[in-house]
Amino acid sequence: MSAVLTRRPVLSRLRAGRAPLQAVCLAVVALVVLAAVLAPWLAPADPNAVDLGSALAGPGAGHPLGVDAAGRDTLARLLIGARTSLLGPLGVVVFSTVGGIAVGAAAAWRGGWLDSLLSRSTELVFAFPGMLLAVLVVAVAGEGLLAPVVALAVAYLPYVSRLTRALVLTERERPYVAAHRVQGQSAAQILLRHVLPNIAPVVLAQSAVNFGYALMDLAGLSFLGLGVPALTPDWGRMVFDGQSAVQHGYPLSAVLPCVAIVLTVVAFNVVGERWADHVSGRNR
């Protein structure tokens, strides 16, 4: 198997010379991350403070982006919501990367029965779409952020482990591995000190690509009311909360989190894909 990055939508054709797009997307990523970090200081109000009198009010003094149907400030919920909306995918990416590297490296390095067992399990996981797995786990474990994050991490793990396995397989044939062996280094030492640092950029690029998808999936779960608890500000949850207002002709409180989701996902996708192209050296 060749070491090819898995990118579900093929963004790899975004040619060089589109530097402005890349810069804009990088800026959006930075902005969203900054907003999430500084949210408590930036938020104009308590995101859960209810002001029923001005429910569904448009943008105005005191509420720059308006108020939702429950009378909560939309800007405050967007800013605080950025934290949950980004932390969830971050958890998915961290879990799936660490787990995927461990599984992939073990399968490639040990080979034999371990390899075939892990490869079989990987195929089984591929048969469960991430959302389905997450829904199943939520059905079992109940609502909350942790269960879907773990479920999605498991669903995304095969993408990382398959890539790692292929990379480690090519890497272990390199002369330097044999050289370190002769010097008496243990397999674990060689793997940790030399092989993993060499393959890390490619694997991390794959994880960056996964981030956007994890964000989409988690927001979807929150939209179903299966993700974060009801009162936690979260973009997916905000769309869910705002949907009935949309049906009554007040779209703002749902449209804004929609825009936030799309902008963030697109920005992460573009940055991740660019990075993936860069490290895999096929800048087509």
Partner 1 sequence: MNFLRFAVRRLLEMAATLFVASFVVFGAMYLAPGSPAGFLLSGRSASPAALQAINEQYHLDDPFPVRYLRWLGQVLHGDFGRSLTYRTDVSRLLADRLPVTLTLVAMALLIVVVLGLALGWIGAVRGGAADSAVLVSTMVAVGTPSFVAAVLLQGLFAVRLGWFPSGGAGQGFADTVWHLTLPAVALALYLVGLLARVTRSAMLDELGSEHVAVARARGVPERRVIVRHVFRNALGTVLTTGGLVVSTLLVCTVLVESAFSVGGLGQLLELATTTKDFPTVQAVALIVVALFMAVNLLVDLVHPLVDPRVVLGARRSAA
Q: Which residues bind partner 1 (CB under 8 A)?
A: 6, 8-14, 123-124, 126-129, 131-132, 135-142, 159, 212, 216, 219-220, 223-226, 236, 239, 242-243, 246-249, 251, 254-255, 258, 261-262, 265-266, 269-270
Distance CA 137, CA 131 (A): 10
Beta carbon nearer to partner 1, 110 or 282: 282
Any idea what DSSP says for residue 47? T
Secondary structure class of 57 (helix, strand, coil): coil
Beta carbon of residue 122, minimum distance to partner 1 (angstroms, whole number) = 10
CA distances from 235 to 28, 74, 97, 225, 261 (A): 16, 10, 24, 12, 7
Q: How far is the CB of 128 from partner 1 (least distance, A)?
A: 6
Residue whose CB is less far from partner 1, 13 or 175: 13
Rounded to an integer, what is the distance from CA 170 to the centroid of its chain? 28
Nearer to partner 1, 8 or 110 (CB): 8
Q: Nearer Cβ to partner 1, position 171 or 217?
A: 217
What's the min distance (Å) between Cβ of 36 and partner 1?
Answer: 18
Nearer to partner 1, 137 or 195 (CB): 137
Given CA atoms 130, 131, 132, 135 in this order, what sign does their dihedral have? positive
Q: What are φ and ψ of residue 60, in 5° steps?
A: -170, -170
Nearest to 101 by CA among 111, 90, 89, 109: 109
55 alpha-carbon distance from chain centroid:
33
Helix, coil or strand: residue 234: coil
Distance of closest approach, residue 186 Cβ to partner 1, in angstroms: 34
For CA atoms 271, 192, 94, 110, the dihedral sign is positive
**Minimum distance from CB of 166 to partner 1 (Å)?**
12
- Identify any residues that bridge with 67 across adjacent strands, giving them in sequence order: 73
Q: How far is the CB of 188 from partner 1 (least distance, A)?
A: 30
Residue 173 exposure: Cα atoms within 13 Å on the Cβ side: 6
Q: Which is nearer to partner 1, 52 or 262 (CB)?
A: 262
**Minimum Å distance from CB 5 to partner 1?**
12
Per the CB < 8 A criterion, the answer to whether 95 and 218 are in contact is no
Residue whose CB is less far from partner 1, 98 or 263 = 263
